[in-house]
């Protein structure tokens, strides 16, 4: 039964799922010239711009408030917004347009005017989401379902995250469709680059890809991506994965997050990835979806400017005086359950207990940013934090001294900069976090500036120091190699790390700080944006060198992207060629070509036997089945076909007809004694795997094993066998869920060469060659046929029909969709053969008598 989420409910590729009011269509529409929008103010979009970036996010980088006197809306740029800061990574000639929603509700009567103002003044395209949809989209599906799940919280009970609600999912898809509509209003799909941000918009790429097959589309996830065991619990897991795979480039902060995403693609969609010249790529129906791993950085200019404010100078003097003679440890966190604030307090409490000499000499300043969402979990986290702080201060405090200073109010940036500059150690103890830029900001502020040095009474050339204690579960942790990494759940280890941080020698603190500062200052937000866009350009450079067409309904939509010369084989075309030729040779693979790969019954159907007999009984034809199967199986299954040639085990054994004897290649297979114990070792260690023993080959199958473990074991086995067989006449090849060892020089391509050469030597060079197969081994046949025909120097070149089964990259020029298509083609050829095939009913009786 089709999933409700991808068929009737969410078939949104062409229809709205909910009765959503249409957003105003007054924005000027982009036509075919990049940077020009017609029917609008010519000054609003520069026609001289050579390239454009369209940044799509849930929120626009704007502040909005209504003027109390005039009741008009006032807008200003949010200088602290990452979306605004990333422009520094683009070339000066680039034009940047933002698509997103506003943080305030705009009345429907004002939306048209506001939209035009934002476009003219800020190059922002607002998406107005109806309040009921926005509530279910943002506060419902995003915050109550996706965000907890991506931070490893499962809805085990009603009090522990919300269970999946299909109405919230529908709102999520509806909102994504509204964002996509706004992008479509302004995009020039041939030239513009679109960069979508974060988990709020993970199905938006599907809508854009359906409308524009070659759109240049990147996505960056700013949150963690959970392991497959967690992600697989999401009922709409496939729709979201396929949405992301409709991008050209997908970015993550860390390899762990990327690895989890790739594991989900492997386990749920059967996709494998490989590294291509240092870039990780997934082949998705002919398109390569690249994976980018790079943590975001801070805006250095913005931070340095903050350090040089007079208000910062005043505040840093005040903080210095307040904590004079004390060691300051700083924490800056949002108030939510994943930031580990209470765990941090427990560790600090243990440090004071174990080191009584520190009492009165050390202070933990915890700045709590306002919670980004409300709910029972946030209130519980806040209550626990306050209780722990009160207990620590009561137990270890004294008159005029509080070990923990909790600042639970909005704190201005200049105030935070002052605390960063004074703190000798910064601790980020989150149990799960996407990136967290607090350590980066701390490092920059500890580096200081001439003005800050003067305010703090520090010599300008004095060495700079800083110490970081960071959770191993946050995105910035891998990039901070000089930090002390901790498991936030291990209270004793965190307390010990704090002790090490504050007692470390000044010279070591200096070395760690210098290492961190070099990284943070060189890998800023501009570097991150520039690197992402460069990879997006590389990922999309071949878009117009391939033919593209879309398949799939609703959120299951995808684009097939293949070579321009690659097209579906027309039965009428091949039948026409077949009719006018007289010396024909036909090569057919077995599994996945004339017999479906998925069927349990591997013997050919009555219909296939009928057509094979009709083709092979025509005196103008030479017909061969070329398979990796053993000769005993092929002999049994194709017993009714008297005149069909067989090539078993990739051509090691060849028989020209049922009446002839098997011929075999001269090859040494003593290496099987070396290979079998190795394969048995991996089979014993890999549940679900097994060994297939052929006369000349050994095949290790792992399709029933755990996908990740099976793939890992296959790679290891490949290396192992290549080493032990280095001096043996055998080749090791990895295929779809298999590792095969076979004699050197044995390929299906040699079968094609042998048959074609024999026909030429007999004075009957072929004028029609057809080869159909579905897997990697058949690619050898396609290549060999082309090479052989060229090398034989035939007077008249034959018509060649190399055809793969399935729409995928191939050396073949043609494709057929599936085995049913292959059978239909065989029927078409059989019907114009001489003699024609018997009626299926008559043949059924004859076949039954043979069996």
At 159 the pLDDT is 61
At 5 the pLDDT is 40
The pLDDT of residue 850 is above 70: no
Question: pLDDT-based confidence at 576, cuts 50/70/90?
Answer: very high
Report the pLDDT averaged over residues 574-603: 91
At 1 the pLDDT is 38
pTM of the predicted model as reported, rounded to 2 decimal places: 0.80
Report the pLDDT averaged over residues 334-341: 91
Is 843 strand, coil or helix?
A: helix
> Which tops the pLDDT comparison, 547 or 239?
239
Helix (H) / strand (E) containing 365: strand 362-369
The pLDDT of residue 220 is above 90: yes
Tokens representing 351 are 């440090």
Contact (CB, 8 A) for 762 and 772: no
The pLDDT of residue 147 is above 90: yes
The pLDDT of residue 22 is above 60: no
**Spatial separation of the C-alpha atoms in residues 25 and 8, rounded to whole Å:** 27
In this predicted model, what pLDDT tens digit does every residue of 453-463 receive, in sequence order?
999 999 988 99
Picking from 129, 154, 297, 135, the residue whose alpha carbon sits closest to that of residue 226 is: 154
Contact (CB, 8 A) for 443 and 466: yes
Tokens representing 661 are 């004897």
The pLDDT of residue 30 is above 70: no
Contact (CB, 8 A) for 17 and 203: no
Tokens representing 108 are 């429907």
At 45 the pLDDT is 39
At 622 the pLDDT is 94
**What residues contact 147, with CB distance under 8 A and at least 6 apart?**
199, 223, 373
Contact (CB, 8 A) for 652 and 716: no
At 324 the pLDDT is 94
The pLDDT of residue 140 is above 60: yes
Contact (CB, 8 A) for 13 and 557: yes
In this predicted model, what pLDDT tens digit does every residue of 414-428 receive, in sequence order?
999 999 999 999 999
Question: pLDDT-based confidence at 58, cuts 50/70/90?
Answer: very high
Tokens representing 418 are 């002052």
In this predicted model, what pLDDT tens digit does every residue of 686-729 receive, in sequence order?
999 999 998 889 999 998 888 888 888 998 999 899 889 988 88
At 68 the pLDDT is 83
Give the length of the chain.
Answer: 851
The pLDDT of residue 145 is above 60: yes
> Which tops the pLDDT comparison, 47 or 660?
660
At 40 the pLDDT is 37
The pLDDT of residue 34 is above 50: no
At 846 the pLDDT is 33
At 700 the pLDDT is 94
CB crowding 83-112: b at 16 or more within 10 Å, else e: bbbbbbbbeeeebbbbbbbbeeebeeeebb
**Spatial separation of the C-alpha atoms in residues 436 and 295, rounded to whole Å:** 10
The pLDDT of residue 851 is above 70: no
Report the pLDDT averaged over residues 584-588: 95
CA angle 199, 439, 518 (to 5 degrees): 110
Contact (CB, 8 A) for 72 and 64: no
> Which tops the pLDDT comparison, 736 or 285?
285
At 809 the pLDDT is 75
Question: pLDDT-based confidence at 474, cuts 50/70/90?
Answer: very high
In this predicted model, what pLDDT tens digit does every residue of 314-332 receive, in sequence order?
999 999 999 999 999 999 9
At 43 the pLDDT is 39
Per-chain mean pLDDT for the chain = 88
Q: How far is CA 180 from the centre of its chain?
A: 20
**Spatial separation of the C-alpha atoms in residues 134 and 561, rounded to whole Å:** 35
The mean-pLDDT minimum among 91-105, 369-383, 490-504, 653-667 falls in 369-383
At 35 the pLDDT is 35
Angstrom distances, CA of residue 262 to CA of 40, 737, 809: 44, 17, 21
Question: pLDDT-based confidence at 350, cuts 50/70/90?
Answer: very high
In this predicted model, what pLDDT tens digit does every residue of 197-213 receive, in sequence order?
999 999 999 999 999 99
Strand 362-369 to 327-334 pairing: parallel
The pLDDT of residue 759 is above 60: yes
Helical spans, DSSP H, in 280-429: 300-307, 310-322, 341-354, 376-396, 413-422
In this predicted model, what pLDDT tens digit does every residue of 594-650 receive, in sequence order?
999 878 888 999 999 999 999 999 999 999 999 988 899 999 999 999 999 999 999
Q: How far is CA 464 from the centre of its chain?
A: 40
Picking from 99, 296, 332, 305, the residue whose alpha carbon sits closest to that of residue 194 is: 99
At 157 the pLDDT is 65
In this predicted model, what pLDDT tens digit does every residue of 485-523 receive, in sequence order?
999 999 999 999 999 999 999 999 999 999 999 999 999
The pLDDT of residue 160 is above 80: no
Picking from 208, 184, 224, the residue whose alpha carbon sits closest to that of residue 31 is: 184
Q: How many helices (H) and strands (E) does the chain have?
A: 28, 32
CA angle 152, 158, 159 (to 5 degrees): 75
**Spatial separation of the C-alpha atoms in residues 703 and 686, rounded to whole Å:** 11
In this predicted model, what pLDDT tens digit does every residue of 782-825 receive, in sequence order?
999 988 888 777 778 899 999 999 877 788 999 998 999 999 99
Picking from 332, 327, 386, 407, the residue whose alpha carbon sits closest to that of residue 359 is: 327
Question: pLDDT-based confidence at 547, cuts 50/70/90?
Answer: confident
Please count the other Cβ atoms lying within 10 Å of the Cβ belonging to residue 794: 15
The mean-pLDDT minimum among 149-153, 403-407, 564-568, 589-593 falls in 564-568
Category of 375 on φ-ψ map: left (φ > 0), alpha (ψ -120 to 50) or beta: left
Q: How far is CA 174 from the centre of its chain?
A: 23
Helix (H) / strand (E) containing 287: strand 287-293
Picking from 711, 851, 778, the residue whose alpha carbon sits closest to that of residue 267 is: 711
Helix (H) / strand (E) containing 768: strand 768-773
**Spatial separation of the C-alpha atoms in residues 370 and 373, rounded to whole Å:** 9
The pLDDT of residue 150 is above 80: yes
At 849 the pLDDT is 37
CB-count burial class (<10 Å; 0-12, 13-18, 19+) for 599: exposed
In this predicted model, what pLDDT tens digit does every residue of 41-56 receive, in sequence order?
433 333 344 589 999 9
Contact (CB, 8 A) for 59 and 103: yes
């Amino acid at each position: 039964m089709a999933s409700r989420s991808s068929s009737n409910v969410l078939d949104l590729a062409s229809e709205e799922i909910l009765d959503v009011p249409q957003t105003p269509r007054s924005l000027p529409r982009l036509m075919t010239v990049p940077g020009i929008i017609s029917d609008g103010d010519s000054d609003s979009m520069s026609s001289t711009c050579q390239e454009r970036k369209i940044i799509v996010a849930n929120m626009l980088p704007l502040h909005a408030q209504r003027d109390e006197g005039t009741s008009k809306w006032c807008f200003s740029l949010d200088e602290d917004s990452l979306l605004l800061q990333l422009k520094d990574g683009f070339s000066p000639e680039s034009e940047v347009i933002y698509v997103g929603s506003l943080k305030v509700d705009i009345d429907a009567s004002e939306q048209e005017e506001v939209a035009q103002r934002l476009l003219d003044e800020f190059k922002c395209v607002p998406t107005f989401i109806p309040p009921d949809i926005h509530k279910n989209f943002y506060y419902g599906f995003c915050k109550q379902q996706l965000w907890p799940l991506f931070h490893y919280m499962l809805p085990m009970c009603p009090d522990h995250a919300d269970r999946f609600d299909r109405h919230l999912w529908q709102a999520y898809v509806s909102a994504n469709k509204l964002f996509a509509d706004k992008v479509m209003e302004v995009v020039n799909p041939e030239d513009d680059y679109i960069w979508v941000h974060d988990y709020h918009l993970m199905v938006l790429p599907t809508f854009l890809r359906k409308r524009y097959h070659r759109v240049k589309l990147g996505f960056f996830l700013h949150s963690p991506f959970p392991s497959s065991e967690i992600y697989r619990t999401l009922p709409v897991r496939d729709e979201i994965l396929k949405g992301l795979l409709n991008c050209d480039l997908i970015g993550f902060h860390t390899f762990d997050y990327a690895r989890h995403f790739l594991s989900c693609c492997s386990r749920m969609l059967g996709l494998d990835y490989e590294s291509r010249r240092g870039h990780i790529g997934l082949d998705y129906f002919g398109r390569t979806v690249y994976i980018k791993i790079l943590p975001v950085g801070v805006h250095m200019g913005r931070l340095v400017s903050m350090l040089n404010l007079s208000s910062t100078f005043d505040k840093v003097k005040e903080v210095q005086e307040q904590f004079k003679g004390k060691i300051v440890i700083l924490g800056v966190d949002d108030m939510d359950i994943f930031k580990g604030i209470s765990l941090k307090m427990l560790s600090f409490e243990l440090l004071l207990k174990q080191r009584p000499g520190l009492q009165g000499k050390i202070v933990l300043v915890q700045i709590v940013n306002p919670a980004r969402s409300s709910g029972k979990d946030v209130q519980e986290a806040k209550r626990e934090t306050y209780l722990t702080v009160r207990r620590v201060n009561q137990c270890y405090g004294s008159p005029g001294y509080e070990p923990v200073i909790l600042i639970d109010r909005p704190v201005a940036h200049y105030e935070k900069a002052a605390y960063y500059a004074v703190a000798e150690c910064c601790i980020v103890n989150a149990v799960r976090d996407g990136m967290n830029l607090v350590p980066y900001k701390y490092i920059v502020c500890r580096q200081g500036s001439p003005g800050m040095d003067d305010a703090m009474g520090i010599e300008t050339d004095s060495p700079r120091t800083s110490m970081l204690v960071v959770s191993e579960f946050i995105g910035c942790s891998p990039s901070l190699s000089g930090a002390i990494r901790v498991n936030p759940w291990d209270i004793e280890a965190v307390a010990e790390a704090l002790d090490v941080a504050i007692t470390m020698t000044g010279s070591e603190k200096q070395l760690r700080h210098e290492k961190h500062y070099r990284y943070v200052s060189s890998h800023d937000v501009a570097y991150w944006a520039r690197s992402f866009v460069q990879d997006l350009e590389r990922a999309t450079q071949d878009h117009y060198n391939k033919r593209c067409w879309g398949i799939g309904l609703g959120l299951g939509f995808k684009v097939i992207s293949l070579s321009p010369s690659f097209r579906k084989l027309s039965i009428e075309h091949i039948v026409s060629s077949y009719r006018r030729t007289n010396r024909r040779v036909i090569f057919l693979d077995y599994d996945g070509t004339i017999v479906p790969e998925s069927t349990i019954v591997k013997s050919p159907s009555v219909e296939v036997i009928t057509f094979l007999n009709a083709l092979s009984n025509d005196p103008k034809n030479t017909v061969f089945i070329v398979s990796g199967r053993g000769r005993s199986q092929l002999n049994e299954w194709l017993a009714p076909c008297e005149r069909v040639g067989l090539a078993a085990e990739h051509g090691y054994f060849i028989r020209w007809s049922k009446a002839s004897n098997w011929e075999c290649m001269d090859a040494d297979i003593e290496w099987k004694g070396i290979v079998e114990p190795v394969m048995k070792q991996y089979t014993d260690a890999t549940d679900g795997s097994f060994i297939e023993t052929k006369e000349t080959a050994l095949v290790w199958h792992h399709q029933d094993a755990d996908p990740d473990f099976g793939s890992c074991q296959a790679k290891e086995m490949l290396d192992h066998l290549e080493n032990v067989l280095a001096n043996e006449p055998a080749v090791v090849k990895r295929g779809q869920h298999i590792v095969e060892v076979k004699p050197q020089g044995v390929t299906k391509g040699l079968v094609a060469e042998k048959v074609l050469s024999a026909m030429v030597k007999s004075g009957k060079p072929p004028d029609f060659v057809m080869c159909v197969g579905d897997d990697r081994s058949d690619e050898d046949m396609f290549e060999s046929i082309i090479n052989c025909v060229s090398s034989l120097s035939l007077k008249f070149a034959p018509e060649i029909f190399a055809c793969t089964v399935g729409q995928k990259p191939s050396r073949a020029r043609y494709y057929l969709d599936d085995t049913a298509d292959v059978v239909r083609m065989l029927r078409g050829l059989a019907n114009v053969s001489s003699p024609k095939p018997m009626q299926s009913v008559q043949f059924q009786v004859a076949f039954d008598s043979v069996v």
